[in-house]
Structure 1
Amino acid sequence: MLSTNALEQTISKILSQTEKRVVSTLDETLAESQKQLDDMRSELDAEYDKIISDGKKEADKIEKQIVGSSDLEARNQQLLVVGEAVDNVFNEVLEQIAKAPRDKEYSGLLDTLLREAMSVLRSTDVIVYSNQSERDTVQSVLEKFPDAEMASESIDCLGGIQIKSRDGAMTFDNTLDARISRLKPLIRRDIAAKFGVSG
């Protein structure tokens, strides 16, 4: 039989060896865990930096959208104000034209309007329309154009003339209303440009 002393020494030796192995394993596990923690910390730092960077980019993008939207809204408001001002001026001009005397000078204007319209249609063989109040003046201007004929019906306009080819295939509106309508967008654009508002 083994003596108690020998048994104690054997147990003590086994415990000592086991303790060394456990401590060694714990040291290795601790070192490995520390390495993994350091690796994870680097990855987390990189991920954190990426999230912050992406967040800043998104914030910049949203800020640009807000600023762009505000600029667009301000520009649209400026265009509306310019448009209203131009409309008011045109309404005043139309009132003045309606009140203007239909004298010899106006007869000369009708002659010019008629010649322009005939030039556009490339024909003097036309039917001419005017408003009721200017029929006599237009008729006297038509005496210079024997191929042209005064229409039996009148048109609703501020002044000026409208012509049609005899076959009705071509029409040119050279009334004062039409001329003003054609000029209005150009004038609006020029005024907007002078005030630094494009559109």
Structure 2
Amino acid sequence: MGLSSADRIVEKIVGDARREADRIVGEARAYAERVVEEARRRARERIDSELSKYRASREEEARRALMEARVKARERWLKEREDLISQAIERVRERLARVVEEPGYVKALEQLIEEAAVSIGGGDLVVQLNERDAKLPLDLEGVARRVKERTGVDTKIELSDRRVECMGGAIVMSRDGSFVYDNTLESRLARREAEMRLAAAKILFA
């Protein structure tokens, strides 16, 4: 028995409704899948971002720790180097303290006086020594002659009544005090200390 016109109309309406429902469901499912995938993508990006931040933070901490370790190592190395150089210079001081007791010290002291007198330019000079050196048999006239030969200036050198506190060496000055040359062992060591430190550093840490 064939369908009536009314049945066909109903069937068409139902079919259209079913197809529309299927379309809506399909679109909804596709939308839901897109939403879920987008949520997953954002979650992955957030996780990746957090992991990147964490790794960057740890790497920065590692770099800082390494830098601090290098700075501390260099500071320790510099301190050890300074200690060794200071010990070397102290041994030089001890050696100088022994030099003044050696037989050749009188000649060395005369040379120190001559060097200072020549640096001043000769003339009427006085020399200050420590208490021990003032008692040594110094040939100040001979020193004065050599100074004149080197400077071309008549030179007279007298021992001052004033004494200086030093290991050895001399302070030479013009009689009016306008020129002074400190050639004590301590002053010579101080003038040479930078050079000695550089030389010691090259020897110790070449």
TM-score between the two structures when normalised by the length of structure 2:
0.68
Structure 1: unaligned runs, 5 residues or longer: 1-8
Q: Distance in 2 between matches of 1:169 and 1:152?
A: 18
What is the aligned-residue identity percentage?
17
Superposition map of 1:118-157 within 5 A: 118-137=117-136, 140-142=139-141, 144-145=143-144, 146-157=155-166
2:199 aligned residue (186, 190, 193): 190
**Does the CA-based 8 Å contact 1:127-1:166 persist in structure 2?**
yes
Amino acid of the structure 2 residue aligned with 1:36 = E
Letter in 2 for 1:177: E
Alignment of 1:30-179 (within 5 A): 30-41=32-43, 43-44=45-46, 46-48=48-50, 50-101=52-103, 105-137=104-136, 140-142=139-141, 144-145=143-144, 146-179=155-188
CA distance in 1 between partners of 2:73 and 2:58 (Å): 22
1-structure distance, mates of 2:95, 2:112: 19
Q: Secondary structure of 1:163's match?
A: strand
CA RMSD of the aligned region, Å? 3.7
The CA distance in 2 between the partners of 1:55 and 1:98, in whole Å, is 65
Partners of 2:97 and 2:122 lie apart in 1 by 33
Name the SS of the counterpart of 1:162 in structure 2. strand
Count how many residue pairs are aligned between Structure 1 and Structure 2: 189
- Cα distance in 2 for partners of 1:28, 1:116 equals 103
Matched-pair contact (CA < 8 Å) for 1:110–1:141: no
Q: Distance in 2 between matches of 1:144 and 1:156?
A: 23
State the TM-score, normalized to the length of structure 1.
Answer: 0.70
* Structure 2: tracts of 5 or more residues without a match: 1-10, 145-154
Q: SS state of the match for residue 168, structure 1?
A: coil
Q: CA deviation at 1:25?
A: 5.3
